[in-house]
Amino acid sequence: MSVDMQHLAINFIALTDSGEHKAHYRDDLIGNGPAVATLVEQLHLAYNGKPAKGYASFNAEKSDRVVNALADWQAEQSNFLGFAKATTDALVVELSQHQLPETGYLLLAHYRYLASEFLLVCLLGSKDHFELSDQLELATSRHLDIGRMQLAARVDLTEYAVNAAKGNYISFIRGRAGRKVADFFLDFLGCDEGTDARVNSQKVLSSVEEYLGAAEFANEEKTAARRQVFDYCEERAKAGQEVVLAELSAVIDPEQENGFLHYCAEQQLEVAEQFPVEVKELKKLVKFNGAGGGLSLSFDEKLLGERVQYDVKTDTLVIKGTPPNLRDQLQRFTQGYSSFDQS
């Protein structure tokens, strides 16, 4: 996998001693080169790897600063550096209005991946690393903290150009800080949230299960189909692409490629032809897990009915064959630790 890097701009947003946000601008773009291409690829992979994303589209009435700057750049009335400065200015205004203490490096990466063109906007923090020279002299270097990317959004510029009316050409990381941060980033970009990937995923789960039952799949066929559905959706999500219903139909039932497609139409299940999904939600297709009351359990779906038996009436699980490390702990506890060699 590789991305075709086009432009990369980096500006820095800091807090002054009086608590006001101030932008520090780089005078030119980051030059193209292998290291820069690797950085953009890491940003792309880190963003795709975030499990919880929302989807949105521009609303010029909400805020036109970024929308207008993007339109000027795409119309070649300004260059990418000018677009980056205008976007940074818009973020400073939004941070001040929301009275948030967020600071960091604002990266705007324009790149191509597969058949699509993307614009990734992210605010990253940094962390200091320590280095030792051959003479054991200590030095520090500052690194971008890509692993903790939380404030980020990506515009599918290709989809925006050819199918803006559909919406959902902007994705963003929901993050762990709750809706307040997500709302602030949407306000900064001038977006309204659209399709909920989690709801789409739940709809896929229920629709697939309905079809497997209606088509009278055998138990082992159901297990194989669920795994194929999950693998396909996970691959699409990691590539930053939406699930295509026609492709999903062929994955579920290769012998009847349009079987699931026709079933959704006949049952009026309202599954879109193309939609984003949330991989975390789809894991329920292939794995059971839960925790509470001091108990934590997780096992593959294919084990239910074989090594794992569930009695609905008594709400009881019977597990045949425990993992070696758990078995060792249980045996030591029940037989007394002193009876084992502790060496």
What is the tens place of the pLDDT at every residue in 170-199?
989 876 544 555 678 888 999 888 767 777
Name beta bridge partners: 58: 191
Give the residues of the chain that fall short of pLDDT 50.
177-178, 343
Strand, coil or helix: 55: strand
Tokens of 299: 């096992």
DSSP 66-135: HHHHHHHHHTTSS-HHHHHHHHHHHHHHHHHHHT----EEEEEEEEEETTEEEEEEEEE-EEEEEEE-TT
pLDDT digits (tens, 9 = 90+) for 194-242: 767 777 788 888 888 889 998 889 988 999 999 999 999 888 887 777 8
Q: Residue 337's pLDDT is what?
A: 61
Which contiguous run of DSSP H or E holds residue 192?
A: strand 191-193
Model-level pTM greater than 0.85? Answer: no
Considering Cα of 89, then 93, then 94, then 100, what sign does the dihedral take?
A: positive
Q: Residue 202's pLDDT is what?
A: 83
Q: Residue 185's pLDDT is what?
A: 84
Which amino acid type is present at position 114? L
Q: Residue 343's pLDDT is what?
A: 46
Tokens of 71: 């339109």
